[in-house]
Chains A and B, each alone.
Chain A
Amino acid sequence: MSSPDVMPTTAAGSGRHRITFATSRTLAYLSVLELGKVWERTLRRGGVPLKYSQGFNPRPRMHFAAPLPVGCGCSADLLDLSLDEPRTSKALYDAIAGVMPQNLVVLGIAPVDIHARSLSELLQEAEYSVWLQQVGEAELAETVAAFLKKDKILMPKRGRKYRGKFYDLRPLVKSLTLDPATPLPWLGLRVRVMARPGATGRPDELLRALGLADRPRRSTRTRLILDGEGPPPEAVADGE
C-alpha cells in the first residue's frame, strides 16, 4: 500500500485513518453527538484501540468533517480517527465490519498522515440532495428560480444567544437545481453550500427560506468538498 503513513513500519499500519461512510433511514435522525456515540461504540465492539484525550473526561479522538443536521443522512461523509496503536486500514475495516449498526456503511478507510490538517480545516463546501413531497414541480421550479434571483436572504440565526440576529443565507448557497433523476413520488433538489467555520449553509435552513420546511422530505449529504479537491466541472454555481 502506498500511503502517507508516518508510522515506523507500513506493516504496522497507521495511527490515524479517514473513514468514508454512509448513513440512511434510522441513522439519519441523530444529532452529531449521537452519531459520534454510535461510532465510538461500534469501534469498541470491534476492539479498535481508539486514542482518547487526557484529563478527567477523556473523549475519543474522533472528528467528523462537519456535523450532519438531524434528519439528514449521508452518502460519503468523512470521519478521522486516531489510534493508540497503529493498524492497517484493512485491519481496521475487518475489525468493525461485523459489528456495524443497521444503516451505517463503510465505503472506504485510508491512512492519513498524523500531521495532516483536520477535516474541519479542509472542508470547503458540501452537496446535498433534498427530496420533497407535497409540492408541485412547477411550484418548486418557481420557488427555486425566485430564490436564485435574490442577492440577499436574511435568516434568523439559530440558538438562544443569537436571538434577534440574522445572517445572509444567499451567498452560502453556491448552487441550487432541480434534480430530474429523482424517483417518484419525490421531487428532488441538488444544493451545494459553503461549509466553512462561520459560513455554513444548511439544507433545513434553505427549505425554510424556500417556504418548504413543512413538506415531508428525505435529505442526504452527498459530498464533502475538501480544500485542494477543487470544484467539479458541473458545479459552476448557478445564480452567481
Chain B
Amino acid sequence: MSIDTTHPTHRIGAIQGSGPVVWERIEALLHRVIKPGRYVGGEYNSVHKAWDATDLHICLAFPDLYDLGMSNFALMILYDVLNRQPDLLAHRTYLPAPDMIAAMREAGLPLYALESYQPVSTFDILAISTAYEQLYANSLELMDLAGIPIRSANRDVTTPLVIGGGHGTFNPEPIADFFDVFVIGEAEDAILELTGTFQTTRHTSRDEQLRALAQIPGLYVPRFYTPVYAVGGGISDLTVADPALPTTIEKRLMPALPATPVAQLVPNVSTVHNRAIIEIHRGCTRGCRFCQAGAVTRPIRERPVAEIVASAEAVVQQTGYEELALLSLSSADHTGIDTLIRQLIDQFEGRHVSISLPSLRIDSFSVELAEMLSEGRHSGFTFAPEAGSDAMRRRINKDISTEALLSVAEEVFARGWRTIKLYFMIGLPAETDEDMEAIIELSHQVRQIGNRIGGRKTEVHVSVSTFVPKPDTVFQWEPLVDEETVERRQRILKQGIRGRGLKLSWNAYSATKLETLLTRGDRRLGALVERAWQLGARFDAWDEWCNQDAWNQAIAELPSEELRAAFPSARALLDHQLYRRRQPDERLPWDHLQTGVEKRFLLQDYRRSLSGELLTDCREECHACGILHHYRDLQTEEWRCPVLT
C-alpha cells in the first residue's frame, strides 16, 4: 500500500458548485483500494433527507477509519438527536485509509459524506470527534481532504463551522487553533442549542456568529480566550476577549440519560464493534485516581431496567443485529444488573442474539454475570487489576486485594474459562522496580491457578500499558515517567513473564509520550501538531501507519516563534510539558474548562493517594467532589449520588 508521508502534493482545491460528488468518480477509485465498502455508504437505517428541503446541514466526522468510527456510540447518539429535527440533516464521514486518501488526492476528489456524497465542505457545520489524542493529526488531514482550511483563523462563513467534542475537549488546547468551537461535556442538548443559534446568526460574520455561540453554556470558543505565558514557560493568566463571556466554561451534563437510539446504523462491511449498543449507565463512582473517563463523566446516571429491556427489543428488531452490547464504564455497578441480564436472556431465548457486557469488575458477582451470558463459550475473561501489589492498588484507589483477585481467578477457571487477560499499568506515581516483581508474581500466581484447575491449555495474557497523567484526574499534577525507566521496567517484565501459558504485550513508549504531550499540552503545541501533520503524521493509533519521525522532527524544530521564545530546546519543551511535577497552585492549561469535580477535591484525594488511603465508592457516601454542588439543579432520580442531609 502506498502511503503519503509527505505534505500533500495533490491539494483539494475549491469545490465547484455545491452538488454531490457523482458516484462514478468514487466508483473509479474503488478497485484500487483495500476494503472499498468503507467508502460507499448505504448502511441500513442511514438517514436520507432531501438536501434542499432542510435548512441546516451538519456533517458528523470520526477522524479515523470507518471501521472504528462506525463503532463510536457518541456519534450514533448525535446522528439520532440531529436527524429527529425536521429542519436539520446530519450525515457522516470518516477518514479514509492512506490508500484511499492517496487515490482521492490524485483524482482531485474531495472528502464526501456517505449518505449523499455531498462534499464535506458544502455542509454548514462539520462536527469532528476529538475523543482521544490519536485523532488530532487525523482531524487536520480530514479537514484538508475536505478542502477546508485547517486553521480557524483562516475560515469564514463560506466554510463550514468546525466543532469538536468528546473526552479530548477537557483539554483541547493543543488543537484549539484548528477548531471554531468545542462542546465541553455531553452534547445531546448543547448541539441543538448550537444549531439553533447557528441558524439565527448565519447571515452575520463568522466572528459575530462565534460570539453568539460562546454565550451558550458548555460551548468553548478558543479564539476568545488567550493564554498569557509566564517567564519559565508556565501559564500566568487567561484573557477573555469580551467581558460578556464567561471566564470558565462548565461542562454540559444531561440530567437523565437521553433515549437510546433505536434505529442504529447497521454497517454492511465488518467493523470493530459490529453490534447494537445500549448505554446502561453513564459515569462511574469507583474513583480510580488515574481514570479520566470516570472523572469527567460524573455523576453516575442509571437507565432503568425496564427501559433497557424495552429498548433492547426495539433495537434488535430495527437493526437485526445478532449481538447487543450493554455499554458503561463498569457494567456490574448497575444496581439492577442481575435482573436486567436475566430478563434479557429470557427475552432473546432461541433468537440467536448474544448479549455482551464489557467492563466487568473483579468479583464473584461479575463472574456469575459473565457465566449467565457465556452460552457455554468460555473464551477469555478480562481483569484490570492495574497494579501488582495491594499497596500500589490502594494508591490508585483500585479496591481489590491480591487475595480476592486470586480467589476470583480460581472461580473463573473453575467455571471453564481457559484464558484470563490481566491489564496492568506501569509508570504509576511512586512506583519502583519492586512493583514489577509484584506484577510478575501475580501473573504467575494466576497462571498456576489456571494450570491447577484447567490444566496446561489455560493461558494468562498480561497486557502492560504505561500510565499517562490525564487532565482532570487526581494524578493530573504527576509527571510522565521517563523513557529509560519504562524500558527498564518493561525489560524486567519481559524477563519475568514468560514460559508456557504466559503472554505479555506492552505499549511503545513513543506512543505514550505523544499521548501525554497532546493530553497535557498547552495552546503553543498547536504549531507542533500542524507541523507534524505537514511532515506526514497521521493515523497515530496504527502501528503500520503512524509516523513517529514526523512527530520527532516537529518537536525538534520548535516550529513557532512562541515555542522558540519559551523553550530554548526541544528537551526543555518536553521537560516542561511532560516531565515535571506541576505545582498545586500552578495554572494548568485546562483549568478554565470545568468538569464539576473541583480541583480542591482532586488535591485532597491526591494527598490520600500519597498515604495509601482508599476512597470508598461514592454511591455509599458522598466525598463532595463538587458535582452535587455545581449541578444540583439538574439532579434526577436516575442519579446514584447519595442523598445529602
Contacts and interface: CB of A to CB of B under 8 A. Distances in A.
Nearest to A57: B377
Contacts, number: 87
Interface string A39-80: 011111101001010001110100000000011000000000
B275 to A, nearest CB: 11
A33 interface: yes
A59 B40 CA distance: 28
Interface in B253-267: 266
B37 A41 contact: no
Given A29-B37, A57-B377, A214-B32, A44 B322 contact: yes
Interface stretch (B240-248, B311-319, B439-447): B311-319
B376 A26 contact: no
Interface stretch (B22-30, B146-154, B226-234, B279-287): B22-30
Interface stretch (A96-104, A106-114, A150-158): A96-104
Contacts of B30: 29, 71
A52 B352 contact: yes
Contact of B376 (A56, A102, A217): A56
A38 interface: yes
A133 interface: yes
B108 to A, nearest CB: 15
Contacts of B36: 29, 70-71
Contacts of B457: none
B520 to A, nearest CB: 41
A30 interface: yes
Given A29-B30, A30-B37, A34-B37, A56 B320 contact: no
A217 B352 contact: no
A216 interface: yes
A102 B44 CA distance: 7
Given A29-B37, A71-B30, A216-B27, A40 B268 contact: no
A127 to B, nearest CB: 20
A119 to B, nearest CB: 22
A90 interface: no
Contacts of A26: 37, 40-42, 268
Given A41-B320, A44-B322, A27 B32 contact: no
Contacts of A56: 375-377
Interface in B24-81: 27-32, 36-37, 40-44, 46
A45 B353 CA distance: 12
Interface residues of A, number: 36
A208 to B, nearest CB: 11
A58 B40 CA distance: 30
B423 interface: no
B376 to A, nearest CB: 6
Given A26-B268, A45-B320, A70-B36, A101 B42 contact: yes
B321 A27 contact: no
A24 B20 CA distance: 19
A165 interface: no
B320 A99 contact: yes
A149 to B, nearest CB: 27
Nearest to B23: A25
A27 B320 contact: no
Contact of B42 (A27, A50, A217, A218): A27
Contacts of A43: 320
Given A41-B319, A43-B320, A58-B352, A217 B31 contact: yes
A58 B28 CA distance: 39
Contacts of B320: 40-45, 99
B381 to A, nearest CB: 16
B268 A45 contact: no
A215 B31 CA distance: 8
B85 interface: no
B236 interface: no
Nearest to A100: B44
Contacts of A217: 31
A34 B316 contact: no
B248 to A, nearest CB: 46
B270 A40 contact: no
Interface string A121-138: 000000000000100000
A31 B321 CA distance: 18
A41 B322 contact: yes
A4 B535 CA distance: 67
B37 A103 contact: no
B317 A45 contact: yes
A231 B274 CA distance: 42
A41 B31 contact: no
Given A25-B23, A70-B36, A41 B321 contact: yes
Interface in B454-485: none
B272 to A, nearest CB: 14
B40 A25 contact: yes
Nearest to B45: A101
B565 interface: no
A34 B269 contact: yes
Nearest to B377: A56
A25 B42 contact: yes
B373 to A, nearest CB: 14
B43 to A, nearest CB: 8
Interface in A129-176: 133
A216 B28 contact: yes
Given A30-B37, A214-B32, A41 B266 contact: yes
A71 B270 CA distance: 15
Interface string B381-418: 00000000000000000000000000000000000000
Contacts of A31: 269-270
Interface string B312-338: 000011111110000000000000000
Nearest to B46: A102
A101 B316 contact: no
Given A41-B44, A103-B42, 12 more contacts: A25-B23, A25-B42, A29-B36, A31-B269, A34-B268, A41-B266, A42-B44, A44-B320, A58-B352, A71-B36, A102-B44, A102-B46
**Minimum-distance CB pairs A-B, first 7:** A26-B42, A41-B320, A216-B28, A29-B37, A45-B320, A44-B320, A29-B36
